[in-house]
Amino acid sequence: MKKVITSFVAIAFLMFISSCEFNFSTANIDDVKMCTSINDNQCSSDNPNFSSGTSEIFISCHLNNPPNNTEVEFAWFYYGQEKIAIDAVKLNSGHQIGTLNLQSSFSRPNNGWPIGEYEVVITILGTEKEPIVKKFSVQ
């Protein structure tokens, strides 16, 4: 009788666990850099200060160990009198494995970049991981 009860409890526990939706991912982001030009989808050095005449601003990072179809969002913001969303780009890892070089960019507006503080928020979507926030300025 004990074996039957133990088996029943074990099966019920496994059914409960399998019905829960886990957002566990081994994916992580590192080596976040900003620049004005890229090679192999990466900034060679980090320069978070730009002039208002900069034609295009890039942000790059490594996405490590992504499961299939991992989505990463790059959300661009400007801090004027309040935080203003500029743009958001979503990239998908597809079926690639290992470390992926990701990048996003934003071109200068017609009237130039407004002087001030900005940030890019990099989020691995569908996970509980804290987003990476990279601040930069235009002077």
How many CB atoms are closer than 10 A to CB 117?
13
83 part of a folded domain: yes
6 part of a folded domain: no
pTM score, two decimals?
0.81
CA dihedral 38, 29, 115, 37 (to 10 degrees): 0
Of 58, 59, 69, nearest in space to 27 by CA: 69
Cβ-in-10-Å burial (0-12, 13-18, 19+) of 78 comes to middle
Q: What is the pLDDT along the chain (139 residues), one digit of tens a residue?
A: 565 455 544 454 444 444 444 445 789 999 999 999 999 899 999 999 999 999 999 999 999 999 999 999 999 999 988 999 999 999 999 999 899 999 999 999 998 899 999 999 999 999 999 999 999 999 9
Number of domains in the chain: 1
Domain around 92 = 25-138
Return the CATH number at 87.
Answer: 2.60.40.10
12 part of a folded domain: no
